[in-house]
Amino acid sequence: MCGIVGYIGKKQASPILLGGLERLEYRGYDSAGLAVKKDGAETVIVKAKGRLRALAEKTDDGASVKGCCGIGHTRWATHGEPSETNAHPHCSDDKRVIAVHNGIIENYKPLKEKLEKAGYSFYSQTDSEVAVKLLDYYLKKEESPLCALARFMLRVRGSYALAVLFSDEPDKIFVARKDSPLLLGRGENESYLASDIPAILPYTHSVYYMENLEMATLSKSGITFYNIDKEEIHKTPVKITFSAQLAEKNGFEHFMMKEIHEQPQAVEDTLNESIKNGVICLPESLSTARIQALKTVYIVGCGSAYHVGVCAQYVIEDLAKISVRVELASEFRYRAPSLDTNALVIVISQSGETADSLGALRLAKQAGAKTLAIVNVVGSSIAREADEVMYTRAGPEIAVATTKAYSTQLIVCYLLAIAFGKAREQIEKTDCERLLAELFELPKKMHRILEDKERLQWFASKYANANALFVIGRGLDYACALEGGLKTKEISYIHAEAYPAGELKHGTISLIEDGTLVVGVLTQERLFEKTVSNMAEVKSRGAELFAVTTYGNYETESLADFTFYIPRTDEHFAVSLAVIPLQLTAYYISVARGVDVDKPRNLAKSVTVE
Ligand code: F6R
């Protein structure tokens, strides 16, 4: 959601800014802009509505905007429609202050009124223009840009990653951060800033993560960090281990397809991250005594991360016999859950920056619960603020619709379930070994499914014009259906609804008519016949059926119009396999309908607003 980049050095800034913004496209945006400063000349600001291509065309791929210092931005509209006027950078009337902003200034209304009284006028509907004019206001009162920035940070409520060009200090870019991601990097005689690593990965593998309420100045010769009291602070760079290639398509037509294919490796890497010498390595504070004392585990997340939680609930309750509650972060954070020190709150997030998940984490900490984050992005806000972190090793996920991050989050949850089960003496050592061995078999089985993908392409092309579809299942199959439904709707724009198979006849079955597509997930032996009966009920009302089931369950052939088989595994882990045909089907439907698979409309990869 909004991406910012910045460069100061000896090279031309515009192509670097455009390239960086392109690598942040996955975050979601509807307009873009850049500001570039050339020695002795007025800073040039160029903006364009729509895709980044429009900005590249306006600037001749950056060649027409000269200068070695600049900032760039992709905007995902919050305050004010997507338009050139509302696009960033924003500036004060005399261009003394020019800035790009990611985040939301919550108290922008009273600030705007105050500034209007002081004689300021506004050309856009954005909170970010208010931020820029507030900086200008303070600059006129304070001695230096750094003082103005520090005062700004004390005055605004909300979130910001801010990059500012002050004409008073032409050889520097100023940045400040609160609750929106921002990282800085150094090359030879040059400095970079960005919202996320892929933007600057071609230039540097060593980055500094900005913490909340920190500022920095970037120049050709170096980066200086400050706390909110303007005192210099020291920060240590973090080495990024993944290569720039991981953020490229590598011959696939879309990032989503590439990431679907990366799942076996991501699962293996995540297993190897947390299992050492055959033993699951839990964070230190999750001792056996602590796990035994746990009364309730809460799992909190948004979207697909929440779906992982639904799956984890079944597995943890079954293997460890602990009561688990799964909650949407946006709801959990505004309830008053009765949390105490015997509760563990697990927050699941790929980006580690999702505003509601971060809010839920903070609420849990305030209430005295222990918190554990399952996060993909190292150094992200949720990873830093949680008491403990377990990292997924999915690598950078660029497609807006998550696939490999979802799969690796499932793996960490399985590991927790097994470890909790063992610590609470609910499963034997031999069960534990068997389950772990089975987990290591998953990558191979995922490959087998991927080899069969053309069958799904054929099937998807048949249903690309469907108006609506249902994905149904019971137990863990329902957890899987939730993810299948979301994948379909977000990238195909077909209304797709996941439903517990047994619940259909309590109202929703009235929507079934001739030709409605119903996808049944059937991997749980105990529930197989029950779901088959529910599928028969919709078939007799005109539905067409697609079954996803395990090899050997050939009874569905006579009922379903199309069946896709997945390899057998321990039933606790079947979602990891069953979700792949659902991801692929959603992908192929999306392609057949001509949707922008990697960047579906209205969506953003990192949802940093509530
Ligand atoms: C769906 C999807 C979203 C995310 C959700 C949480 O494909 O990607 O539903 O799962 O926005 O994001 P993170 O995991 O970054 O907190």
Same structural domain, 378 and 433: yes
The reply to whether 150 falls in a domain is yes
Whether 65 and 90 map to the same domain: the answer is yes
* 14 close to ligand 1 (CB < 6 Angstrom): no
Instruction: Work out the burial of residue 302: count CB atoms within 10 Å of its CB; fewer than 13 is exposed, 13-18 middle, 19 or more buried.
Output: buried
Q: Which residue's CA is the nearest one to ligand 1's atom 9?
A: 303
C-alpha of residue 175 to centroid of ligand 1, in Å: 27
**607 Cβ inside 6 Å of ligand 1:** yes
Q: How close is the Cα of 408 to the center of ligand 1, in Å? A: 13
Q: Does residue 610 belong to any structural domain of this protein?
A: no
Q: Tell whether 146 is covered by a domain.
A: yes
Are both 171 and 258 inside the same structural domain?
no
Please state, as a whole number, how many other Cβ atoms lie within 10 Å of the Cβ of residue 243: 13
Atom of ligand 1 lying closest to residue 382 CA: 16
Question: What's the order of all strands across the beta sheet hosting 69-75?
Answer: 44-49, 31-37, 69-75, 3-8, 190-194, 183-187, 206-209, 238-239
Q: How far is the CA of 78 from the centre of ligand 1 (A)?
A: 18
Domain boundary among 424, 450, 476: 450
Ligand 1 site-directed mutation target among 330, 351, 374, 413, most atoms within 8 Å of CB: 351
608 lines ligand 1 (CB under 6 A): no
Closest atom, ligand 1, to C-alpha of 354? 16
Angstrom distance (rounded) from CA 5 to CA 91: 17
CATH number reported for the structural domain that contains residue 193 in this entry: 3.60.20.10
73 lies in the same domain as 145: yes
State the CATH number of the domain containing residue 372. Answer: 3.40.50.10490
Residue 264 Cβ < 6 Å to ligand 1: no
User: What's the pLDDT tens digit per position in 27-64?
Assistant: 878 899 999 998 878 899 999 999 899 999 999 999 99
Closest residue by CA, ligand 1 atom 10:
304
- The 10s digit of each residue's pLDDT in 162-205 is 999 999 999 999 999 998 889 999 999 999 999 988 899 999 98
Q: Edge to edge, what strands does the sheet with 97-102 contain?
A: 90-91, 97-102, 160-166, 173-178, 214-218, 223-226, 232-233
37 plus 152 within the same structural domain: yes
Asked if 223 and 293 sit in the same domain, the reply is: no
Judge if the beta carbon of residue 357 lies within 6 A of ligand 1: yes
Ligand 1 centroid to 401 CA: how many Å?
7
Q: Ligand 1 centre from 375 Cα, in Å?
A: 11
Grouping H, G, I as helix, E, B as strand and the rest as coil, residue 204 is: coil
Active site residues: 2, 605
Tell which of 200, 220, 240 closes a domain.
240
442 plus 461 within the same structural domain = no
Alpha carbon of residue 556 to chain centroid = 36
Q: Is 304 touching ligand 1 by the criterion CB < 6 Å?
A: yes
SS3 assignment, position 14: helix
**pTM of the predicted protein model:** 0.83
Which of 352, 349, 345, 305 is closest to 325 using CA atoms? 345
Of 450, 477, 499, the residue at which a domain comes to its end is: 450
Q: Which protein residue's CA is at the shortest distance from atom 7 of ligand 1?
A: 401
**495 within a domain of the structure (yes/no):** yes
527: in domain: yes
268 CA to middle of ligand 1, Å?
Answer: 21
Based on the domain organization, do 463 and 589 belong to the same domain?
Answer: yes
For the Cβ of 303 lying below 6 angstroms from any atom of ligand 1, the answer is: yes
d(CA 452, CA 581): 9
Distance 304 CA to ligand 1 centre (A): 5
Its domain, for residue 152, covers: 3-240
pLDDT at 605: 79
Do 380 and 442 lie in one domain? The reply is yes
Cα 76 from Cα 96, distance rounded (Å)? 25
CA distances in angstroms from 499 to 272, 349, 477, 480, 520, listed in the order given: 34, 24, 10, 10, 10
Please indicate, yes or no, if residue 74 is contained in any of the structural domains.
yes
Q: Could you tell me if the CB of 382 is within 6 A of ligand 1?
A: no
My answer on whether 289 and 170 are in the same domain is no
C-alpha 317 – ligand 1 centre gap (Å): 24
Q: Please check whether residue 71 lies inside any domain of the structure.
A: yes
The secondary structure element, H or E, covering residue 415 is: helix 404-423
Mutate to test the pocket of ligand 1, among 263, 299, 304 (most ligand atoms within 8 A of CB): 304
DSSP 605: S
Query: Are both 233 and 271 inside the same structural domain?
Result: no
Query: Which residue of 330, 350, 590 sits with most ligand 1 atoms within 8 Å of its CB, as the best mutation to test the pocket?
Result: 350
| pLDDT beneath 70: ranges in the chain | none
Q: How far apart are CA 552 and CA 387, in angstroms?
A: 45
Tell me the DSSP string of 148-160: HHHHHHHH--B-E
Burial of 452 (0-12, 13-18, 19+ CB in 10 A): middle
Give CA separation, 588 vs 126, 152, 240, in Å: 38, 48, 33
Which runs of E-coded beta strand occur in 103-213? 160-166, 173-178, 183-187, 190-194, 206-209
pLDDT of residue 235: 95
Give the alpha-carbon dihedral of 17, 47, 165, 209, to 10 degrees.
-50
> In total, how many domains does the chain have?
3
Evaluate whether residue 148 is within a structural domain: yes
Say whether both 423 and 524 belong to one domain: no
Tell which phi-psi region holds residue 508, choosing left (phi > 0), alpha (psi between -120 and 50) or beta: alpha
pLDDT recorded at residue 405: 98
Is residue 583 lining ligand 1, measured as CB closer than 6 Å?
no
